[in-house]
Structure 1
Amino acid sequence: MDALTLLLNRTSQPRLEAPAPDADALANIKRAALRAPDHASLTPWRFIICEGAGLNKLGALFEQSAIDTDKSAKEIERAPQLPLRAPMVIIAIAKVQESPKVPRVEQVASTACAVMAMQMAAIAQGFQGIWRTGSYAQCDTVKRGLNLTEEDEIVGFLYLGTATIEAPERKPHDLNQFFEHWS
């Protein structure tokens, strides 16, 4: 798949199953992440790859978060199952550093670019994924469980695997609603 076709046709796929990216595909996904824009070469990223028992560990963390934040009994019961919606989840963390040149927002944006690059690399290799956030990305229980500092930010959970359904056709946007030209 050529790059332009990939970018113009990207969709999120919430229904995923095994197989997940294998070692070679995952190596390409990692390399793509580390090519994200990175002002001053701060490398403000950390990634945790969850597979197998690691998905259960992440689910236990979500469950504890649901308990700690007084979610409903139904949400507490559902929480440990959430990571099992894909055979692989990559947690993307912005490791924000003090910098006179690179503000926090730029470091978080750099990590977000890395997530997009990972998803594109997965799709280019025949896999699919969906980038999720939600309350668990903002929860102190989850952050503590991942040994994050107060400055760190969970940018998202990238679920990866093989699509179980075809993505629905997306209606194209009217470009003029989003872009203006200054001449």
Structure 2
Amino acid sequence: MPAPNQAALDFLLTRRSRPAKTLTAPAPSRDELMPLLEAAARTPDHGKLEPWRFIVLEKAALTRLAGLVGPRAEALGIPEDKVAKAHSQFADADLAVAVISAPVDSEKVPQIEQVYSAGAACLALLNAALAAGWGANWLSGWPSHDRTFVTEALGLAEHESVAGFIHIGTETCAPPERPRPDLDAKTSWVAD
């Protein structure tokens, strides 16, 4: 019988993202953020390919990104409600980490599995922040999928994309529990 880490299991069974709009300063300092990034970097990465990287966006950088949202949205004809939501995602934040999917050439590991690894890094960073007592949320939105925006705003290479923006800060209120999936409806058992 394996020896359980009950505290870790209890955390995973009760973890809950905190809405980014409820996060405020202070955000983690660089020293406080480093162990969270270390935890995220322990995600499965298919033979040390490390097909992801992190861009830490502090307040001034987030303000700059917020300023890029409007002109890009106008060029794309994005509806005003989506523009406001994308703008506030950056303007109202104190710290976010852009997790960048950065697949590498590999004969053994398909690109899609490398993209999954970047997603796993997002979840690992989110969980590490929550476990450390911070409020955290994983966001994306149309700017993260717009090639021009991510190139201009973040300097991404052509083969890179945003897996997610992990917002981290001080939680102002705990969100209520929400309905969870019906595991009987989502689980199949194959015995033979």
Mapped contact 1:40–1:101 kept (Cα < 8 A)? no
1:38-77 matched pairs, under 5 angstroms? 38-72=45-79, 75-76=82-83
Rounded Cα–Cα distance in structure 2 between residues aligned with 1:40 and 1:158: 25
Supply the distance in 1 between the matched residues of 2:115 and 2:99 (Cα, whole angstroms): 10
Amino acid at match of 2:12: L
What 5-or-longer segments of structure 2 have no aligned partner? Answer: 1-5
1:158 aligns with 2:163: no
Which residue is 1:174 aligned to? 182
Please tell me whether the aligned partners of residues 134 and 169 of structure 2 are also in contact (alpha carbons under 8 angstroms): yes
CA contact (8 A) 1:94 1:152 kept: yes
Which residue is 2:29 aligned to? 22
Report the alpha carbon displacement of residue 75 of structure 1 after superposing the two structures with TM: 5.0
Which aligned pairs between 1:27-38 and structure 2 lie closer than 5 A? Answer: 27-38=34-45
Change (3 A) 1:172 1:52: closer
Give the length in aligned residue pairs.
183
Distance 2:92 2:11 in 1: 24
Change (3 A) 1:103 1:173: same
Deviation at 1:161, TM superposition (A): 0.7
CA 1:168–1:147: 2 relative to 1, 3 Å: same
Q: Deviations over 1:56-100 (max 9, x none)?
A: 122123233213212245655664432133321111111112211
- Hey, what does 2:90 align to over in structure 1? 83
Indicate how the Cα distance of structure 1 residues 23 and 152 shifts in structure 2: closer, same or farther if over 3 A, else same. closer
Structure 1 residue corresponding to 2:122, chosen from 112, 115, 118: 115
TM-score if structure 1 supplies the norm length? 0.90
C-alpha distance 142-127 of structure 1, shift in aligned 2 (>3 A): same
Please say if residues 86 and 143 of structure 2, whose CA atoms lie closer than 8 Å, have aligned partners that are also in contact.
Answer: no
Q: Using the TM superposition, give the Cα deviation of residue 169 of structure 1 relative to its aligned residue in structure 2, in angstroms.
A: 1.7
Deviation, 1:34, is: 0.8
| Runs of 5+ unmatched residues, structure 1 | none
Distance 1:78 1:175 in 2: 32
Hey, what's the Cα distance between the residues in 1 that align with 2:35 and 2:43?
A: 13
Match of 1:133 in 2: 140
Q: Give the secondary structure class of the aligned counterpart of 2:173.
A: coil
Instruction: Pick the aligned partner of 2:103 from 89, 93, 96.
Output: 96
Distance 1:112 1:80 in 2: 23
Tell me, yes or no, if the aligned pair for 1:33 and 1:114 is still in contact at 8 Å.
Answer: yes
Alpha-carbon distance between aligned partners in 2 of 1:172 and 1:75, rounded to the nearest angstrom: 27
Contact 2:86/2:142 (<8 A) preserved: no
Q: Is the 8 A contact 2:36 2:125 kept in 1?
A: yes
**How far 1:38 sits from its partner (Å)?**
0.6
TM-score normalised by structure 2 residue count: 0.86
Amino acid at match of 1:5: D
Q: Report the equivalent of 2:16.
A: 11
RMSD of Structure 2 on Structure 1 (CA) = 1.9
Classify the secondary structure of the residue corresponding to 1:43. coil
Structure 1 CA distance, aligned partners of 2:69 and 2:14?
32
